[in-house]
Amino acid sequence: MTVYIELAAASNFLTCGITLFVTSILDHSRIVILRLCLASLFSAIISLFIISQNAQPYQFIIRILTALGACAIYIFERKRYRAYFRFCLLFFFSNIIMLGCVYLLMAVFNIKFSQKNGIIFADNVFTVVLFGIFLGMLACVLFVRSHKKAKLISQTVCRVTADGVALPTLIDTGNKLSTPFSKIPVMIVDSGSYKQFGEVAENIELPYRTVNGKGIMYGFEPKEVYVEYMNEKKKVRLIITQSGEPITGEFNAIVGPAIIY
């Protein structure tokens, strides 16, 4: 049987890319097209190595390492090891679903196939693989939608840690409060949580406008601020001011959506 190298490479490139895309949906992480293409290209190159070197005895180990490498290219960053390993587990989960759908379709339509060096050979195999991948993606999307209701709550709340003080924070899409010139986002903290910062120099003027009129608040800029949102953690600049009224709910502060972009 003739193996067309370009078809094998293209198949691995597309399969890896689609799997990474679905995994990003499951992980609720940002989709980066450039990294996705680089990771898929890495997978395609390794697949060519397996075919050309006839590495049948070691293909399982090589493919596991290839998957870990592709995930590392796509999502790995320093000090985010837990997020990386969680993404890898979801990547293997997505792979199992998609391959399961491919084999199920082959069994349903009684398509005989053989496998060599990780490549499936069968009549109309590419049609079956495409339908299998489609069903796998559908299964993953249904899985995400079943958990969507719970996620909607978490998506509106982030965790802000400013100078060691951790605050569950509501992301208010209507809050566009920021400094006049540098446009640094402003977080409004309730009075009880504000006391945790101790004595601070409120030397930043913050003009604001509400339905009741205009005014000026005063705030300060913490030395170090981290925001955790949708399984991602990043360092940001933020101005903190005290709320004139108590903040009710399961959060201690309110901030605009600019902080997560």
pLDDT at 152: 43
- Tokens 């992301």 -> residue: 171
Q: Which residues contact 102 (CB under 8 A, 6 or more apart)?
A: 120, 128, 129, 132, 133, 136
For residue 254, give the nearest of 183, 198, 177 by alpha carbon: 177
Instruction: Give per-residue pLDDT as tens, 218-228.
Output: 999 999 999 98
How much is the average pLDDT of 151-178?
A: 78
Phi, psi of 205 (to 5 degrees): -85, 135
What is the rounded distance in angstroms from the CA atom of residue 183 to the CA atom of residue 181? Answer: 6
Domain chopping of the chain, boundaries: 5-146, 153-260
How much is the average pLDDT of 9-27?
A: 78
What is the rounded distance in angstroms from the CA atom of residue 6 to the CA atom of residue 9? Answer: 5
What is the rounded distance in angstroms from the CA atom of residue 95 to the CA atom of residue 57? Answer: 21
The share of the chain scoring above pLDDT 70, in percent, equals 72
What is the CATH code of the structural domain delimited by 153-260? 2.40.70
Report which of residues 94 and 204 the model is more confident about.
204
Instruction: Give per-residue pLDDT as tens, 116-150.
Output: 544 555 555 555 565 566 666 666 666 665 555 44
List the structure tokens of 41. 């290209």
Q: Which residues contact 181 (CB under 8 A, 6 or more apart)?
A: none
Residue 245: pLDDT over 80? no
CB contact at 8 A, 172 and 243: no
CB contact at 8 A, 239 and 220: yes
